[in-house]
Structure 1
Amino acid sequence: MRVISSTIEALTPTCVALGNFDGVHRGHQQVIAPAIHRARALSEKTVIGDRPEKSQKAYATVVTFDPHPREFFSGNPQHSLTPLGEKQEILAHFGTEQLVLLSFDRELAALTPTEFVAEILVKQLQTQFISVGIDFSFGQGRSGNATDLQAIAQTFGIDVHITPLCREGETRISSSAIREALTLGKIDYGNQLLGRPYRLQGKVIHGQKLGRTIGFPTANLAIEPTKFLPKYGVYAVQVTGDTLPRQQWGILNIGCRPTITATTQPTVEVHLLDHHQDLYGDTLTVELHHYLRPEQKFASIQALQAQIDQDGDRARTLLTPSPH
C-alpha cells in the first residue's frame, strides 16, 4: 500500500474514506469498506455488447490528517492506538491501496468546507466517491458535518456514503472508548471494540538482563514512542517474531519494575513460556489477550518468582483454546 504525504503524488481517480481512524476499529472498518467496494466496482471489467472493456481504474484511498487536528490545536503530543506503521499494515490487510496523510497546518485548518471539497477532494484527488462516519466534521472551525459534505459533494456529482454509529451494546465504538478500556485494564473489552487483539510491536533490545538472574529471561521491547500503553501490569499474550518458528504464548509486563530496580520510564518486557533462544534484534508483535494482575512490589525475589510461576500457569489456562 502506498503511503504519501502530498496529494501531488496520489494515484487518481480515487474513492475516499475520510477520517482520523486511530485504532482502525470496527466502526472505522465500516467507514472504510464502502470506499474499497466502490473502487473495486469502478475498476471491474464491464461488457458492452460482445466486447469486454475495462473501466477506468479507481484507487481505494484512506485520507487522514497528520498531525491529528487535536494535537495541532492543543500543542500536546497524542499517543496513538495505531502509529503509522501499524495503521498502514491494518489498512493494507483490508484492501486499501493508498493512504494519504494530509498535512494539518494553519492553511488546511483555514479552508471552508466547500474549499476543502473543491480543492483537496475534487481538484487534487479527483475523488469519485466519499465515505465518512455520521459524526465526521471538517472545515474551518469544524463548521462542516457529514450532511454538509454530502450536499457540497453532490454539486460536483460525487456520491457520499454516511456510515451510522457502530455500537457494542449501549457503548458507541470509538477510539476514546477503547482508550478508556485499555486504561482500566479491560483488555478483553478493548479487543472486542477493536475487532482484534490490541498489540504492541518493537525490536528486542538489550536491557539489564535481570529477568534471567531470577530464572525468567525476558525480551525487552523498544516500543514506538507515540504508541498508547495500556494499564501497567501483567498480561497473557501471544507473540510472533522474525525468527520464532510459530506463535508463542507468553506473559507481558508493562511498568517500572518496583521489586528489582525501579525505573522512572515504563519498560515493556515479554517472557515466552516455551521458547528460550536469544531474540536480540528481532521485531516481535505481542497480542494482548488477558489482563492478569496489576504491577506490584514484592517483599522478596522469591515471592516475585512464585508469582511469575503462577502468572505463567494462569496464562496457559486462559490462552488454551476451549474445546468445541
Structure 2
Amino acid sequence: MWVTSSCNAALTPTSVALGNFDGLHLGHRQVVQPILNRSTFEPNSATVSASGQSLRSNPGKDQNSESKHPATCNNDSASNSLSGLTSDADDRPYSTVVTFDPHPQEFFTGQPKKLLTPLAEKVELLAAMGVEQLVLLPFDRELAALTAAEFVEEILVRQLQASRISVGLDFRFGRGRAGTAVDLQSIASSYGIDVTLAPLYSCGEGDRISSSAIREALASGDLRKAHQLLGRPYSLVGTVVGGQRLGRTIGFPTANIELPPEKFLPRFGVYAVQVLIKNQAVEIKDPSFSYDWKHPQSPISGKASDLSILSGVMNVGCRPTVDGQQPTIEIHLLDWSGDLYGQTLSASLVEYLRPEQKFASLDALKTQIQADCDVARKVLSKPT
C-alpha cells in the first residue's frame, strides 16, 4: 500500500473513501468497501512515505502542478516500486482512503486526541483490507478554510482525479463543517463523479457503531461491546522496552510495552490477552520516512492459522503497589520464556479480569497475579 501526505505524490486516478476512520470499525468498513478493487487484492505489502513518485503513468495529471492546498512534502527518495499494485488497465482507479492528519478535532481544540488506531495500526488494517493507497491530508488553516465546493474541486477532482467517492451518511466537510454528505453528492455530480452514501449502522443490541461508543465501552471495561462495534478485539501494539524488572523478582517476568503516545488506553486493570510477536511493524518516524513493508498473516487480516498466538495477562495502569506514577503496559506471557526486548507485540484484549488495586505487600501481589493467571488460562482456553 502506498501512503503519502502529498496529493501531488498520490497515485491517480482514484476511487476514494473519505473520513477520519479512527478505529476502522464495522461502520467504517462499509464506507471503504465500495472503493475496493477485489481483483487486485494483495494484503501483504506496503510502502509508507510522506511523499513519493507515481508507480505508473498518470495520464492527464501534471506532476509539477501546484494546488491551492498542496498538502506537499516533496521527497524524491521515496520508493518507486511496489508489489501488488499492478493492473492490466492503466486507467483503473486506485482504491484510496483519504483522511486527515492531525484529526480535525485536535486541530481546532489544540488538545491531543487519543486514537483507537494510530497511523501505523491504520496502515496495517487498511492494507489487510486490500486498500491500495492512503492519503493523509495535512489538516491546517489552509485546508480548514476551503469551502465544500473548493475542497471537491481542488482535492478530490484536480489533485486526486477521483472517479468515485464513498462517505458515511453523517460526513461533514468544508469550512465550518458546512458541507454534508448530500452536498458532496450534489457537488461531485457536476463533475460526473458518483458518490456512495454509507448508512449509519448499529450492532445487534441497537447501539450505533461509532468511534465514540467504542471509546466509552473500552473506558468502562466492556470488551464485549467494543468487540461487537469494532468487529475484532481491541489491540495494543507497541515495542518491548526495559523496565524495573520487578516482575522477574516475584516469579512473573513481564514485557513492558511502549505505545504511541496518542494511543487510547482502555480502563485501568488486568486483562486476559492473546499476544502476537510481530516480525515487523509499520514505523513512521518523520514526514520524509519511507518503508517497504511485508507483514506475515495476522489476526488483523483474519488469517492467523499459521502463527503462534500466545496467551497472557496484561496490566494497564500506574502500579500503585510499587508507587508508580505514569501509566504502563505490562504483559506476562503464560508458559513462555525468551528475550523480547526491541520486538513488537500486538496484544488483543479478550476479557477484563479486575480493576487495578494496591496490595499491602509484594507477597500479596504475587498471590493475586497467580490467581489472575489461573483465571486467564480458563478464559483463553474457551473455544471462540
TM-score bracket for the superposition, by shorter chain length: over 0.9
Alpha-carbon distance between aligned partners in 1 of 2:383 and 2:38, rounded to the nearest angstrom? 39
Q: Distance in 2 between matches of 1:229 and 1:39?
A: 37
Structure 2 partner of 1:50: none
Gap change, CA 1:39 and 1:101, over 3 Å in 2 = farther
| 8 A Cα contact 2:38 2:130, kept in partner | no
- 1:38–1:137 Cα change, 3 Å: farther
- Give the corresponding residue for 1:130: 165
Offset of 1:55 from its aligned partner?
6.7
Residues 38 and 116 (structure 1 numbering): CA distance in 2 closer, same or farther, change over 3 Å?
Answer: farther
Give deviations 1:116-168, integer Å, cap 9, x for gaps: 10110000000000000000000010001000000000000000000000101
Shift of 1:281: 1.4
Aligned structure 1 segments of 4 or more residues deviating by more than 6 angstroms: 38-41
Structure 2 residue matching 1:167: 3-state secondary structure? coil
The question of 1:289 aligning with 2:324 is answered no
> Would you tell me which structure has more strand in proportion to its own residues?
1
How many residues are paired up?
A: 310
SS at match of 2:263: coil
Contact 1:219 / 1:270 at 8 angstroms: preserved in 2? yes
- The 3-state SS of whatever aligns with 1:172 is coil
The one-letter code sitting in structure 1 at the alignment partner of 2:379 is L
CA 1:5–1:55 in structure 2 vs 1: closer, same or farther (change >3 Å)? closer
Cα deviation digits, residues 215-234 of structure 1 (max 9, x gap): 10000111111111101000
Q: Residue type matched to 1:174 in 2?
A: S
Aligned partners of 1:14 and 1:39 also within 8 Å: no
Name the structure 2 match of 1:180.
216
Q: Is the 8 A contact 1:39 1:60 kept in 2?
A: no
Hey, what does 2:359 align to over in structure 1?
298
SS in 1 for 2:117: coil
Output the amino acid matched with 1:251: V
Correspondence 1:198 to 2:259: no
What SS does structure 2 have at the residue aligned with 1:20?
Answer: coil
1:320 paired with 2:381, answer yes
- Secondary structure of the equivalent of 1:238? strand
Counterparts of 1:120 and 1:38 in 2: how far apart (Å)? 25
Counterpart in the other structure of 2:67 = none
Give the conservation status (yes or no) of the 8 Å contact 1:38–1:129: no
Structure 2: how far apart are the matches of 1:55 and 1:242? 35
C-alpha contact (below 8 Å) 2:278/2:346 kept by paired residues: no
**Unaligned segments of structure 2, at least 5 residues:** 42-87, 280-306
Which residue pairs with 2:29 in the alignment? 29
TM-score, length-scaled by structure 1: 0.92
Secondary structure of the 2:114 match is coil
Contact 1:60 1:97 in 2 (8 A): yes
Aligned to 1:10: 10
Is the Cα–Cα contact under 8 Å of residues 37 and 130 in structure 2 kept in the other structure? no
- For residue 300 of structure 1, report the CA deviation from its aligned partner: 2.1
Do 1:39 and 1:59's aligned partners in 2 also have CA atoms closer than 8 Å?
A: no
Give the 3 Å change call, closer, same or farther, for CA 54–179 of structure 1 in structure 2.
same
| Structure 1 unaligned spans of 5+ | 42-52
Corresponding residue to 2:99 among 64, 79, 96:
64
CA contact (8 A) 1:256 1:264 kept: yes
Q: Is residue 228 of structure 1 aligned with residue 264 of structure 2? A: yes
Q: Alignment partner for residue 129 of structure 2, among 70, 94, 101?
A: 94
Matching residue of 1:262: 323
Q: Is the 8 A contact 2:115 2:263 kept in 1?
A: yes
* Backbone CA RMSD of aligned residues: 1.7
Per the alignment, residue 243 of structure 2 pairs with 207
1:31-85 CA-to-partner distances (Å, cap 9, x unmatched) read: 00001149969xxxxxxxxxxx847221000000111110000000111100000
Post-superposition offset of 1:302: 1.9
- The structure carrying a bigger helix percent of its residues is 1
The percentage of aligned residue pairs carrying the same residue is 60
Distance 1:124 1:38 in 2: 24
Deviations, residues 166-185 of structure 1 (Å, cap 9, x unaligned) = 10122110000000000001
Partner letter of residue 151 of structure 1?
A: S
- Aligned partner of 1:251 among 313, 331, 340: 313
Whole-angstrom distance in 1 between the partners of 2:212 and 2:351: 20
3-state SS in 2 of match to 1:24: coil
Q: Given the alignment of the two structures, is residue 139 of structure 1 paired with residue 201 of structure 2, yes or no?
A: no
Bigger RCO (CA 8 Å, 6+ sep): 2
